[in-house]
C-alpha cells in the first residue's frame, strides 16, 4: 500500500483533506543535486541508465516533498525507439539530423518492440519503485503523437512548427500514417510502464495549442483518444494539452481521469468548460515561482480556493523553470500542504 495516496484519491474523485501537489519537470534542472549529475553524464545517458534515472526521479521527493514522483525520462525516447535519430544539442535542445518529410521517410519508421528498445525505462521504473518504498505514487508519461511528430518533422524545437504543419496539410495521408505509428508505439510503451509498476500516466500535448480547434481534432485529439481508450481500464490517465483550453469540453468526455490546465485558462473557465465533474490539474504560472515565498503562499491558497480542494491536483501550468530557487519550489509545495490547516 502507498503511504501517501492523496494523488490517487484525487484522480479517482474522492474527497480529500487537501489537494495533492507535484510539479511538472520536478525531477530536473532547478535542483543542484540534479546539476551535479548533469555535469557527469549527457542527457540521454541519464535517461538510459536506470540507476541515474531512478536517482533523479526520487531527488525532489526527498528535497521538496511533493505527493507524487514522475519518472525521469524524455518524450523523445519514443522516436528513438522507432528508428528516428534524436540528439540533444547543447544550446539547441532536441536535434533530429534526418527529419521526416516524405512517404518514404514514414515507411522507414518502425513500430518497435517496446520491451526490447525501451527496456531501460522499465528497469528505471522497478528501481524507482524500490527507492520510493511506497512513500508516494509514481507517474509514467509520454508525449502526444502530435507533439512527437512536431519534432520528427521539424527536426528541432520551433516557435510555430511550420514544417510539421506543412507536412500535415500537404501530405495528410503520410502524416496520419506517421501519427498512427507513434500512437501504436505510445500505447504499447505506456502499457509496459503500467505493467512494470507506474501508478498513473500522463500524456503531454506540449504543442497542441499550435493547431486550430478543427486541426487539433484531426491531427492530435483523435490519437490521444486512442491512447485513453487503450489505457483507461488499466490505470488513471491524465491529459495535459498546453494552450488547448478550446478542447477541454471534448477532453472531459474522453474517459481521462484528469486534465491539465495551463495558466492562460482560469480555474472558473476550466471548471465551466469541463462540466465540473472531472479532476483538474494545474495551473500556476511557472514564472510566478520567482515571486517571494510569502506571495507564492497567497497565490497558491487563492488558486486552490478557485479550483476547490476536491477533484483537483495542484501543479504548475507547464514545467518548472531552471532558474527557480529551490526554496521557492518548496514554498509552493508547502503552501499546498498547509492548505486548510
- Residue positions forming the annotated binding site for substrate: 25-29, 44, 74, 151, 206, 318
Under a CB-based contact definition with an 8 Å cutoff, are residues 312 and 279 in contact? yes
Helix (H) or strand (E) holding 99: none
Strand arrangement, sheet containing 312-316: 69-70, 138-143, 200-205, 236-241, 258-261, 279-284, 312-316
Dihedral of alpha carbons 280, 285, 290, 291, sign: negative
Unique residue bearing C-alpha cell 517571494: 292
Q: What is the dihedral of CA 129, 130, 131, 136, to 10 degrees?
A: 40
Instruction: Give binding residues as ranges.
Output: 25-29, 44, 74, 151, 206, 318
Polymer length in residues for the chain:
341
Question: What nine digits make up the cell of 248?
Answer: 477541454
Measuring CA to CA, how many Å separate 31 from each of 63, 233, 260, 295?
9, 36, 24, 21
Under a CB-based contact definition with an 8 Å cutoff, are residues 53 and 72 in contact? yes
Dihedral of alpha carbons 40, 43, 45, 48, sign: positive
Q: How many beta carbons lie within 10 A of that of residue 309, not counting itself?
A: 17
Q: How many beta carbons lie within 10 A of that of residue 197, not counting itself?
A: 16
Amino acid at each position: 500500500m502507498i503511504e501517501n495516496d492523496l494523488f490517487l484519491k484525487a484522480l479517482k474523485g474522492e474527497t480529500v483533506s487537501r489537494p495533492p501537489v507535484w510539479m511538472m519537470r520536478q525531477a530536473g534542472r532547478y535542483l543542484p543535486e540534479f546539476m551535479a549529475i548533469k555535469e557527469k553524464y549527457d542527457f540521454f545517458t541519464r535517461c538510459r541508465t536506470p540507476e541515474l534515472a531512478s536517482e533523479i526521479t526520487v531527488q525532489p521527493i526527498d528535497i521538496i516533498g511533493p505527493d507524487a514522483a514522475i519518472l525521469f525520462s524524455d518524450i523523445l525516447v519514443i522516436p528513438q525507439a522507432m528508428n528516428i535519430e534524436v540528439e540533444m544539442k547543447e544550446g539547441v535542445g532536441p536535434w533530429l539530423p534526418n527529419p521526416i518529410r516524405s512517404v518514404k521517410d514514414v515507411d522507414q519508421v518502425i513500430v518497435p518492440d517496446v520491451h526490447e528498445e525501451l527496456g531501460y525505462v522499465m528497469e528505471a521504473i522497478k528501481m524507482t519503485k524500490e527507492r520510493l518504498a511506497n512513500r508516494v505514487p509514481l507517474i509514467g508519461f509520454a508525449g502526444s503523437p502530435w507533439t512527437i511528430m512536431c519534432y520528427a518533422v521539424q527536426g528541432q524545437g520551433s516557435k510555430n512548427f511550420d514544417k510539421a504543419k506543412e507536412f500535415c496539410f500537404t501530405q495528410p495521408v503520410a502524416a496520419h500514417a506517421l501519427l498512427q505509428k507513434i500512437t501504436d508505439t505510445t500505447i504499447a510503451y505506456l502499457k509496459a510502464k503500467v505493467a512494470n509498476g507506474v501508478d498513473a500516466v500522463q500524456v503531454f500535448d506540449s504543442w497542441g495549442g499550435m493547431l486550430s480547434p478543427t486541426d487539433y481534432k484531426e491531427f492530435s485529439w483523435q490519437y490521444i483518444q486512442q491512447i485513453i481508450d487503450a489505457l483507461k481500464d488499466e490505470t488513471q490517465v491524465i491529459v495535459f494539452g498546453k494552450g488547448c483550453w478550446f478542447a477541454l469540453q471534448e477532453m472531459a468526455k474522453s474517459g481521462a481521469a484528469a486534465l491539465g490546465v495551463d495558466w492562460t485558462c482560469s480555474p472558473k473557465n476550466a471548471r465551466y468548460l469541463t462540466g465540473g465533474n472531472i479532476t483538474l490539474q494545474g495551473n500556476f504560472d511557472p514564472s510566478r515561482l520567482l515571486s517571494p515565498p510569502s506571495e507564492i503562499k497567497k497565490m497558491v491558497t487563492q488558486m486552490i480556493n478557485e479550483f476547490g480542494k476536491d477533484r483537483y491536483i495542484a501543479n504548475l501550468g507547464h514545467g518548472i523553470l531552471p532558474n527557480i530557487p529551490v526554496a521557492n519550489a518548496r514554498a509552493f509545495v508547502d503552501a499546498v500542504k498547509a492548505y486548510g490547516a
